[in-house]
Amino acid sequence: MQIIRDLPALRATLGERRLAGDRIALVPTMGALHAGHVALIEEARRRAPLVVASIFVNPRQFAPGEDLDRYPRRERADAQMLEEAGCALLWAPSADTMYPQGFATSVTVGGPSEPLEGAARPGHFDGVATVVLKLLNQVQPDVALFGEKDWQQLAVIRRLVADLDLAAEIVGVPIVRDDQGLALSSRNAYLTPEELAAARALPRALGEAAGAILKGQPVEAALATACARLSEAGFSAIDYVSLRDAETLAPLDALGERPARLLAAAKIGAARLLDNLAVAR
């Protein structure tokens, strides 16, 4: 696997492959890779012969006081995992390459970026949209893959790509979970074994709430029970447990015709965890 860190080299390499007629798939990541990322690479391989992964811990999507400095960085192990998964090229720019001196542009997506994560982490989706637009311009992939674990991020990126007439097809990949249902996440590494065991209450609470809503329990009551379950399990701060339109992220107080999604974010130990689940009749 080739590792490229500067833009002229990336453009030259990908330009040659594009001329040769190869389709290109992009898997953007922040590194500290796990089986969830491998699933994205595997799906990318099914869709294009040339798979590019990026690793960039994007400072612009972290608010002051968040975990930018301690976010796990382990490029050597990541590169090995990517190579074994069949990734051909790792794009690993430095912060100066991504944001050279004088950089002054920020991309704001409205609509689905405003509630939930947008409210809990002001500026976060501006950072995500800015870097994802840059990555799509740098790599110019035919297809780019993102995990459903970050459901709202995926909705924001779909909106960005549609609104700015970008050519890449955006593909969402289902959440990879451990054997007890916890969504894999790089930030799970912040948890002690006891906290990890307690964190499994998150998917359980969402599953229980989805089941109750489908059986006709009022949404508000089902969400309140889910919050109580999380508190009992030791989650210290529950940012939201909410039923939303799956595409627009508008709040729902009942199931309707359009796809609905339960989304949650809550803190346990030193990690703030996200999860989500379809609620379908």
Ligand X SMILES: Nc1ncnc2c1ncn2[C@@H]1O[C@H](COP(=O)(O)OP(=O)(O)OP(=O)(O)O)[C@@H](O)[C@H]1O
Ligand Y SMILES: CC(C)(CO)[C@@H](O)C(=O)[O-]
Binding-site positions: 30-37, 61, 147-150, 153, 176, 184-187
Nearest alpha carbon to residue 210 among 257, 258, 244: 244
Q: In the bound complex, what is the minimum distance in angstroms from residue 175's beta carbon to ligand BAL?
A: 12
Q: In the bound complex, what is the minimum distance in angstroms from residue 127's beta carbon to ligand Y?
A: 7
Nearer to ligand BAL, 11 or 158 (CB): 158
Q: In the bound complex, what is the minimum distance in angstroms from residue 236's beta carbon to ligand Y?
A: 23
Nearer to ligand BAL, 150 or 275 (CB): 150
Nearest alpha carbon to residue 8 among 104, 89, 96, 97: 97
Distance CA 277, CA 264 (A): 9
Nearer to ligand BAL, 152 or 242 (CB): 152
Distance CA 131, CA 222 (A): 37
> Which among ligand X, ligand Y, ligand BAL, none contacts residue 173 (Cβ within 5 to 8 A by kind)?
ligand X
What b-and-e string marks burial along 62-91, b requiring 16 or more CB atoms within 10 Å of the CB?
beeeeeeeebbeeeeebbebbeebebbbbb
Q: In the bound complex, what is the minimum distance in angstroms from residue 64's beta carbon to ligand X?
A: 17
Distance CA 206, CA 226 (A): 7
Which 52-71 residues touch ligand BAL, going by CB under 6 A? 61
Using rule CB under 6 A, residue 173 touches ligand Y: no
Among residues 26, 37, 43, 125, the one annotated as catalytic is 37
Using rule CB under 6 A, residue 78 touches ligand BAL: no
Known catalytic residue: 124?
A: no
> Which among ligand X, ligand BAL, ligand Y, none contacts residue 115 (Cβ within 5 to 8 A by kind)?
none
Alpha helices in the chain (DSSP H): 7-19, 35-47, 75-85, 95-98, 117-120, 124-139, 151-163, 193-199, 201-214, 219-233
